[in-house]
A and B are shown apart, each in its own frame.
Chain A
Amino acid sequence: MSDLSSAFGTAASLILHLDADLLEIVLLSLQISLLATLFAALIGMPLGAALALYRFPGRGFIVAMLNAFMGLPPVVVGLVVYLLLSRSGPLGPLGLLFTPTAMVIAQFMLAAPIIAALTQQTVADLNEEYDEQLRSLGAGPLRAMRTLLWDGRFSLLTAVLAGFGRVSAEVGAVLIVGGNINHVTRVMTTTIALETSKGNLALALALGLILIGLSITLTFTAQSIRDTAYRHYH
């Protein structure tokens, strides 16, 4: 019991004094997850919009892949990326395994399907409402797609937040492809797993508290985006 309360005390002081190790881990985690989410949004949003608006060869396959990847546990996605990047894998020569880049790739694979699928849903719903009006105004297919993405901007922002939420909270994929190397690929979730198993509860607790704060912030932001959107543009 006193062990636990002293762990809490140390955790609080680590956070309050901006402990150097703690800060390094938090910043690396945010950097990796933000980059992965950015790339996932850049690819996932146009892909989702195209899937909502056009029938093209390979469309069914892509939709099936997206759904499969969304349902997979992150460790399995990590395994797939591991196999791609491992020495004997197709991307082995790039030497990316156990680097932050590998972690960005793994998280990208986790975030992109969510963002693409939510975008597809948003754009398809909006297109139902907009299609005839936009054609009547003389908008071509490309302008129509841009319009749907822009007018769906609030829903799309929450889709991106959902993608970020998934990757910043997951542990399996980054553990496999990053290797949890101190000062190189150690992020919040993998550090929590390691330090807890070592019995070093203070650092694990400090990171856990930060993750909880991040999660609450994300939820709160998503909610206020929805409220703003409803007030102005329902």
Chain B
Amino acid sequence: MTQPTATIIELDSGKAAPEQEQTCKSPVLPLVISELCYEANQQRLLKYVSCTLTAGNSTIILGPNGAGKSLLLRICQGLIAPASGNISWSGLNPVQARPYVAMVFQKPVLLRRSTAANIDYALAARGVPRKQRRERVTEALELTNLNHLARRSARVLSGGEQQRLAIARAWVTQPEVLLMDEPTSKLDPGASYAVEQLISAIRKQGTKVIMTTHDMGQAQRLGDEVLFLNRGRLLEQTPAKIFFERPQSKQAAAFISGELLY
């Protein structure tokens, strides 16, 4: 009779652990970006982007294809360097901030090994001792509903399963910020729904989600605030409700009404 109670207590303490961990982490928010430019082939692809992103809400970067959304996220993760301007994770540069900021790529690269080994890899790379890894891998598999595929090789999973695995692998290190680049762009409606549910759950745990999309419905479902990016320019940063009712820029209005922008 006492068994169920014990299980509940265990679950509760298990859920509390990440939050405790978060409070002792060096905070990387707010993220302050100022006058950021990125260039390739003598082309300016990001133009004087400035914004401040704070803890406690989720940010959707919205914009048409080719707007520069992926470039912006890759700069935030320190994978490519801006041509000019500044980016500061509460005083840390993107490479220094990486232990606290995880990213799910537009085309996630799954390692040529099992589902569980992919998740384990992220912990090992962050220096988590082997003894603690097994439990955290199981936790991540449960969160993303991939337990039954733990031993399957990651490369043969379906698109939706691969995306959930990529999220599990990013989430398992308990990052303060989770960057996600169009996490549902290649998925069918059912798989997209599952991924959105997962993102909602991660948001509710207090992880700051910064996510790009060109899907307006998704932006409304998951976003607290919207950054609207078009042709490398940040045209507005607005609370999601206001953005969809009264967009500030005429480009955003055109985008919302479905007119193509290029």
- A interface residue numbers (CB < 8 A to B): 129-130, 132-140, 143, 147, 150-151, 153, 232-234
Contacts and interface: CB of A to CB of B under 8 A. Distances in A.
A186 B113 CA distance: 44
Interface string B149-168: 00001011000000000000
Given A138-B126, A151-B112, A133 B155 contact: no
Contacts of B126: 137-138
A135 B122 CA distance: 11
Contact of A136 (B77, B111, B112, B156): B77
Nearest to B155: A233
B72 interface: no
Nearest to A147: B111
A151 to B, nearest CB: 4
A136 B180 CA distance: 12
Interface stretch (B27-35, B46-54, B100-108, B194-202): B100-108
B98 interface: yes
Interface of A (DSSP majority class): helix
Contact of B122 (A130, A138, A150, A232): A138
Interface in B118-164: 121-122, 124-126, 153, 155-156
B104 to A, nearest CB: 9
Contact of A132 (B74, B112, B121): B74
Nearest to A139: B125
B169 A137 contact: yes
B206 interface: no
B79 interface: yes
B79 A132 contact: yes
B16 interface: no
B109 interface: yes
**Nearest 5 CB-CB pairings of A with B:** A133-B109, A233-B112, A151-B112, A138-B125, A139-B125
Contact of B102 (A129, A136, A140, A153): A136
Interface in B17-71: none
B74 A143 contact: no
A232 B109 contact: no
Contact of B103 (A130, A136, A233): A136
Given A132-B74, A132-B105, A151-B112, A137 B155 contact: no
B111 A232 contact: no
A137 B103 CA distance: 8
Contact of A151 (B77, B103, B111, B124): B111
A96 B67 CA distance: 67
Contacts of A151: 111-113
Contact of A232 (B99, B124, B153): B153
Given A138-B99, A151-B113, A232 B155 contact: yes
A150 B125 CA distance: 15
Given A135-B98, A137-B125, 19 more contacts: A129-B109, A130-B111, A132-B79, A132-B105, A133-B108, A134-B125, A136-B98, A137-B121, A137-B126, A138-B98, A138-B122, A138-B126, A138-B173, A150-B112, A150-B113, A151-B112, A232-B112, A232-B155, A233-B153
B167 to A, nearest CB: 13
A150 B111 CA distance: 10
A150 B153 CA distance: 14
B79 A136 contact: yes
Contacts of B173: 138
A140 B124 CA distance: 11
Nearest to A232: B153
Contacts of B155: 232-234
Contacts of A129: 109
Contacts of A136: 77, 79, 98, 102-103, 105
Interface in B73-123: 74, 77-79, 98-99, 102-103, 105, 108-109, 111-113, 121-122
A204 B224 CA distance: 81
Contacts of A130: 109, 111
B65 to A, nearest CB: 20
A129 B79 CA distance: 14
10 contacts: A132-B105, A133-B105, A136-B77, A136-B102, A137-B121, A138-B122, A147-B121, A150-B112, A232-B153, A234-B155
